[in-house]
Amino acid sequence: MTLPAVDWAQPWLVPYRAHGEAVAQAVAHRPASVAAALQGIKPEVVPDFVHQDALPAGQAYEAHIFQTRTVPTRDNLHDFFNGLVWLAFPQAKRRLNELQAAEIARTGVAAVRGPLRDALTLFDENGAVLDAPPALWRALVARDWHTLFVTQRELWAEARLLLFGHALLEKLVTPRKPITAHVLLMHDATGPMAFDDALLAESLDAERLEVKPFVPLPVMGVPGWCAGNSSASFYADPYVFRGLSR
């Protein structure tokens, strides 16, 4: 198979670049399935990657991962990025899977997910984590885009934004201005907290996530992530940078 080309120089791909280039090369040149290429470089702490055919018909995907410690993987870009997030943040991914599996065991699989499973899926697919000075977070919560990206722009040098959702990473293979992440604040009272797999996993608890504490962020607005956003006029687009609903 052939995966679409990925521009690994993009700043949001820094945590995934080394593994991503290795897996993409294995898929392109052996050739190997995405599952086999991921399996070939994974450390022991990461579940085994298996072909999608290993998922029995009717079995819930998250429950299967929890029960078998294997990740069914299709030969597409979506599952390629899912595998890369497992490689980079195995404890956080395992925590999400544990919460999903516990909720499935408690309530079963229905046509509509409950609030916790819905929040877990949203973060897993489209989530991001922001460690930033309080002024930036306040501006983001208020959808005060001018303050966030123009008047307080220099504060982004003290911020770190991690894109975690694999569907979000997939969409950004073709960057577009409207692409939006669901952001979770990550900090402690003593100051900025380095992004660390164990710390991220620890922050993912059911009570916190069930209320969907996410804030939307159009990621192309992040300084340095798009050449066009060096001008203040970039943010004067009400279809992307929307204010709070009244």
Specify the pLDDT at position 242: 92
- Is the pLDDT at 189 greater than 60? The verdict is no
What pTM, to 2 d.p., does this model score?
0.94
For the chain, where are the E strands, in sequence order? 48-51, 70-73, 127-131, 160-163, 180-185, 215-218
Q: pLDDT tier at 191 (50, 70, 90 boundaries)?
A: very low
Token code pair at residue 77: 């870009």
- Tally of CB atoms within 10 A around 129: 24
Specify the pLDDT at position 190: 43
Packing angle between helix 90-107 and helix 77-88, nearest 10 degrees?
110
Q: What's the rounded mean pLDDT across residues 25-50? A: 95
Token code pair at residue 44: 């022991």
Specify the pLDDT at position 173: 98
Closest CA relative to residue 212, chosen from 122, 129, 92: 122
- The string of pLDDT tens digits covering residues 50-97 is 999 999 998 999 999 999 999 999 999 999 999 999 999 999 999 999
Q: What's the rounded mean pLDDT across residues 8-16? A: 97
